[in-house]
Amino acid sequence: MMHQFSAVVKVTIFVFVLFLIFPLSTWSKEALPVAEDPEVEKRMLALTVDLRCLVCQNESIADSRAEFSNDIRREIREQIKADKTDKEIVQFLVDRYGDFVLYNPPMKPTTILLWFGPVILFVIGVSSLIVFLRRRRLQIEDVTLSQEQLKEAEALLNENKKGKNV
């Protein structure tokens, strides 16, 4: 009887471990390929540091692990191997994805908001705050108490002090 029980426990533990390990195997990804040519890899990394990942938007393509960035890095490697210059590669990406792919987009009419938008929003916010505070100050009125109200308040304070002393 004890022998049968231990076999059931062993099978149960085995199944339990399988259920724990199986999801981990589905999360794993294929290893990233090692650079075939160190010079191509060095040039690709230098280019991708100044390019924005359109999926992450706060990471460079060099730092991002998104599939989009992997595709862009592969495309850049292919263009480097095709003897394209850095300017040609960057222009290809800008033509394909727009100026937003650049961390430092050029100054032109379509990028004015990118350059001056944060400053404009800051100025609008500070101006709105100043106007709000000035209007609020005008709404606040000084309250003057009559002699009778002052005596009443003093009596309440004295009564409160006596209650605390007891």
Q: What is the pLDDT of residues 36-92, one digit of tens each?
A: 778 888 999 899 998 988 888 788 888 888 898 899 999 999 999 999 999 999 999
Return the exposure string of 76-100: e unless at least 16 CB atoms fall within 10 Å of the residue's CB, then b: bbebbeeeeeeeebbeebbeeeeee
Domain boundaries, the chain: 38-106, 110-165
Q: What is the pLDDT of residues 77-129, one digit of tens each?
A: 999 999 999 999 999 999 998 888 888 888 888 888 878 899 999 999 999 99
Does the pLDDT value for residue 29 go beyond 60?
A: no
Global confidence as pTM: 0.52
- Provide the H-helix boundaries in the chain: 2-27, 38-48, 67-81, 86-97, 112-139, 147-165
As a CATH number, domain 38-106 is 1.10.8.640
